Amino acid sequence: MNIIDNRPVTMAEAKDIVLERENDKELSYEQKLASEHLKKFTKLKASEAKKFVGDISEVLRMSSETLVQIVNLIPKTPDELRLIFAREKFSLKEEEVQKILEIVKKYS
């Protein structure tokens, strides 16, 4: 197996990748488990997730890992959002929290 690309992806994008591979060949045990998990817990379509990431990145510059976590977890409260940002080297201002939560509401 060759690694082609190494970047964080949303669960919706991962689901599309796994489903595409599922059609091409037999999945390994771990890939089947990942596929079942993604089918069960993915709430957005890949196109919606990409647009969601774009909308959030316009509000605030943050790591791609943090962007993906916001899309995957869809935080509903300021405290949930702050937990995602706990590992960042900066803290969110109240206005940034509200802007991000407004965007999250559009997609939840």
Domains with residue ranges and CATH for the chain: 11-41 (no CATH), 46-107 (1.10.150)
In this prediction, the residues of the chain whose per-residue pLDDT falls under 50 are none
Residue 1 has what pLDDT?
Answer: 61
- Token match 């990431």: residue? 53
No. of H helices and E strands in the chain? 6, 0
Residue 49 has what pLDDT?
Answer: 94
Residue 91 has what pLDDT?
Answer: 82
Instruction: Report the Cα–Cα distance between both ends of the chain, in Å, rounded.
Output: 36
Torsion of CA 55, 73, 20, 34, to 10 degrees: 160
